[in-house]
């Protein structure tokens, strides 16, 4: 797997494509989740393929009563992988709250210092080790000044819950506030980015310019947009067909989307989610796609939207 260097994030080599672990905790139509052994097998397969950055969050769970579900899966997979913990970059996120109902799951946000410290400690417990990075998942703009939240994240780092901290789903003013408060030590930004979603380009460019890791979530567009990417954004399918012809190996529009994101800058690490070995293998192949300047220009010129798949 190709790797990049992002000192603000970690001293470890960082794969240019990571793993979004959230789908491993999604509830199925019958209310069950993927069996633990199957979820761990998928992550082990991804790690073996070189996708050795894994992104989770405390609230990735099938219900409000199971907060930490995804972190526990990731923790078990990392601890039991034959390659060892030191080869994997583990990212988790805190700051969104889920309270058992009624209604069954009440969503909220808390960026206070006390809450962030409690949540970080709970994440370390769920994982079974300290993650490499803890990110503030979403901003509580209604109640807390963002500088206060960033100071809370500094307290998380100072308490030893993770050696690096990051910020998520932020605008440019918030990125600049975090940069000032942390004295230029923000390790990562996790914002939406895909062929479909082109909003917050100023944040995207800010992160790249400051050598901050940028983790595009929903890199295929999310939901049905992910499934329909080849038809919704035919230029990505056209480039895939060209690469298939020139290499003699089948290339998909989804692989082109990942390669396009990677090509934007050395700190961009898309985190596709998957539950199948074949999808992990496809993501790993995307790291080795070489897009020409002409192909990149065509893909950049395609039109997306500023409407998020998960509005703030």
**pLDDT band for position 105 (cuts 50, 70, 90):** low
Contact partners, residue 87, CB within 8 Å, separation at least 6: 12, 47, 52
Record: fold of 14-229+261-281: TIM Barrel (3.20.20)
CA angle 128, 125, 217 (to 5 degrees): 80
pLDDT tens-digit series, residues 61-97: 998 889 999 999 999 999 999 999 999 999 999 999 9
**pLDDT band for position 100 (cuts 50, 70, 90):** confident
pLDDT tens-digit series, residues 123-156: 999 999 999 999 999 999 988 899 999 999 999 9
Mean pLDDT of the chain: 95
Counting residues of the chain whose pLDDT is more than 90, the rounded percentage is: 88
Alpha-carbon distance 221 to 109, whole Å? 24
């Amino acid at each position: 797997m190709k790797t990049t260097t992002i000192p603000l994030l970690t001293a470890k080599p960082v794969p240019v494509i990571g793993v979004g672990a959230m789908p491993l905790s999604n509830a199925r139509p019958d209310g069950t989740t993927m069996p633990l052994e199957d979820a761990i097998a998928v992550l082990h397969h991804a790690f073996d393929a070189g996708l050795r950055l894994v992104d989770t969050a405390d609230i990735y769970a099938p219900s409000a009563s199971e907060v930490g579900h995804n972190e526990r899966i990731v923790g078990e997979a990392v601890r039991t992988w034959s390659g060892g913990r030191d080869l994997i970059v583990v990212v988790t996120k805190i700051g969104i709250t889920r309270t058992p109902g009624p209604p069954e799951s009440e969503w909220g946000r808390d960026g206070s210092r006390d809450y962030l410290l409690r949540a970080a400690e709970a994440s370390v417990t769920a994982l079974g080790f300290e993650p490499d990075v803890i990110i503030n998942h979403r901003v509580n703009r209604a109640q807390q000044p963002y500088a206060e939240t960033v100071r809370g994240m500094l307290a998380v780092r100072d308490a030893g819950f993770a050696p690096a901290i990051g910020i998520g789903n932020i605008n440019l003013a918030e990125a600049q506030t975090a940069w000032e408060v942390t004295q230029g030590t923000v390790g990562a930004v996790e914002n939406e980015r895909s062929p479909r979603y082109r909003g917050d380009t100023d944040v995207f460019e800010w992160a790249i310019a400051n050598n901050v890791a940028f983790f595009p979530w929903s890199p295929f567009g999310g939901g049905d947009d992910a499934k329909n990417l080849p038809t919704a954004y035919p230029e990505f399918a056209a480039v895939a067909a060209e690469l298939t012809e020139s290499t003699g190996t089948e290339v998909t529009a989804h692989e082109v989307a990942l390669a396009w994101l990677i090509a934007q800058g050395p700190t961009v690490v898309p985190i596709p989610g998957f539950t199948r070995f074949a999808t992990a293998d496809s993501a790993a192949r995307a790291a080795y796609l070489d897009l020409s300047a002409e192909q990149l220009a065509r893909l950049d010129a395609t039109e997306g939207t500023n409407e998020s798949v998960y509005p703030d």
